[in-house]
Amino acid sequence: MSTTSISLGAGSRARWWEFAVWILLLLLPVLLPKHSLLVSEITIIALFAMSLDLVLGYSGIVSLGHAAFFGTGAYAAALFAKHINPDPLTGLLVATLVSAVLGLVCSPGILRGSDLTRLMVTLGIALILQELANKMDHITGGADGLQGVLMGPVLGRFEFDLMGQTAAYYALAVTLLVFLLLRRWVHSPFGFSLKAIRDNRLRAQAIGIPVHARLMAVYTLAAAIAGLAGGMQAQTTGFASLDVFGFDRSADVLLMLVIGGTGWLWGGLMGAVLFKTLHSLVSALTPQYWTFWIGLFLVLLMLVGREKLLRPWTWGRRS
């Protein structure tokens, strides 16, 4: 084994704190039984942010419409449970597949053009889907949302309870599984080729990486995982409404990822936890004008830079 392959592989070994964090996360429903609903909500958002990380952090594509896939997954899971089969795992699979197909169909749009073009195409797709869900009210319930989704028990044994215990474990288990798979995946040659494309597309092409095929693949994968997260959201809340496609959702998840840091999977998780904590703190003070403070936070974060803002002890120093 040469030195290079050792250093490339170094990041793939799990560190002790990663185990510790996951054990802590899995214990959360027991430690905080009253906040189980919050735990499942954050977990789902974290998974969503992780999927965006694949596109943004690993491939360098700025997307303003990632909620398109989240929403598609949510509606797919809700409709499937309502009309065909209430089993959660089958529904999740369907949600994932539907979003993956959508991602594959949309992926040519992100290959060409500038950042602005990509921004517009992704945003446009989310808007189109939101319009569709709004207008096809005989299927989706329109602006009232899709109500009355009754889920069957997970694995035929664990019923969804009002306290959200099952939901929390369900979300945590699925997220852990996806996290482990993604972890393997981003440290594979495939993952490295994506980083190469992100850092220098021309050179990546020159050493024989099929840039377009790789980008389409990662976009489809990210779409599938976003759909998975959306599907879980619909299943655990028993509800899907238009706001799953909303611009706010796409912007929020971008923010979480930036808070947590892009390009290392944990960013989505940490960002989601920080963001949601911040959200509940500020909302408790000013419920209506929470967007003002999140806006201010964004502006400051971007002006000062993440590295500096999250390390208050370096504020006095000049960079």
Partner 1 sequence: MLTLLFDGVAYGMLLFVLAIGLSITLGLMNFINLAHGAFAMAGGYTLVLLMQKAGWPFLPSVFMAFAVSALLGLVLEVTLYRRMYHKTHLEQVLFSIGLTFMAVASVDYLVGSTQQLVQLPEFLKGRTELWDGALGMGHYRLAIIVVCALLAWGLQWLLVHTRFGAQLRASVDDRRVAAAMGINVNTIFMATFAVGSGLAGLGGALGAEVLGLDPVFPLKFMIYFLIVVAVGGTSSLTGPLLAALLLGIADVAGKYYVPKLGAFIVYTLMVLILMWRPQGLFTRGNA
Is 127 a residue that touches partner 1 (CB under 8 A)?
A: yes
H-type helices in 107-164, by residue range? Answer: 115-135, 137-140
Cβ proximity to partner 1, 131 vs 161, nearer residue: 131
Binds partner 1 (CB under 8 A): choice among 83, 291, 307, 314? 291
CB of 117 to partner 1, least distance (A): 5
Chain positions 130 to 159 lying near partner 1, rule: CB under 8 A, are 131-132, 135
Name the one range near partner 1 by CB under 8 A: 30-38, 150-158, 209-217, 289-297: 289-297
Query: Residues touching partner 1: how many (CB under 8 A)?
Result: 41
Please select the residue that binds partner 1; options are 16, 114, 159, 208, rule is CB under 8 A. 114
The residue range among 120-128, 155-163, 166-174, 234-242 that interacts with partner 1, by the rule CB under 8 A, is 120-128
Gap between the Cα atoms of 105 and 196, Å rounded: 24
Residue closest to 262 by CA, chosen among 61, 64, 56, 12: 56
Q: Report the DSSP beta bridge partners of residue 154.
A: 158
CB-neighbour burial class of residue 297 (10 A; exposed 0-12, middle 13-18, buried 19+): middle
- Under the criterion CB under 8 A, does residue 93 sit at the interface with partner 1? no
Under DSSP, is residue 154 helix (H, G, I), strand (E, B) or coil?
strand
Q: Cα(30)–Cα(164) distance, rounded to whole angstroms?
A: 11
- Could you tell me the two tokens for 76? 């797919």
Rounded Cα gap, residues 47 and 66, in angstroms: 12
- Measure the CA–CA gap between 161 and 167, rounded to whole angstroms: 8
Identify residues 216-275 at the interface with partner 1 (CB under 8 A).
Answer: 247, 251, 254-255, 258
Residue numbers at the binding site for partner 1 (CB under 8 A): 56, 62, 64, 108-109, 112-117, 119-121, 123-125, 127-128, 131-132, 135, 247, 251, 254-255, 258, 288-292, 294-299, 301-303
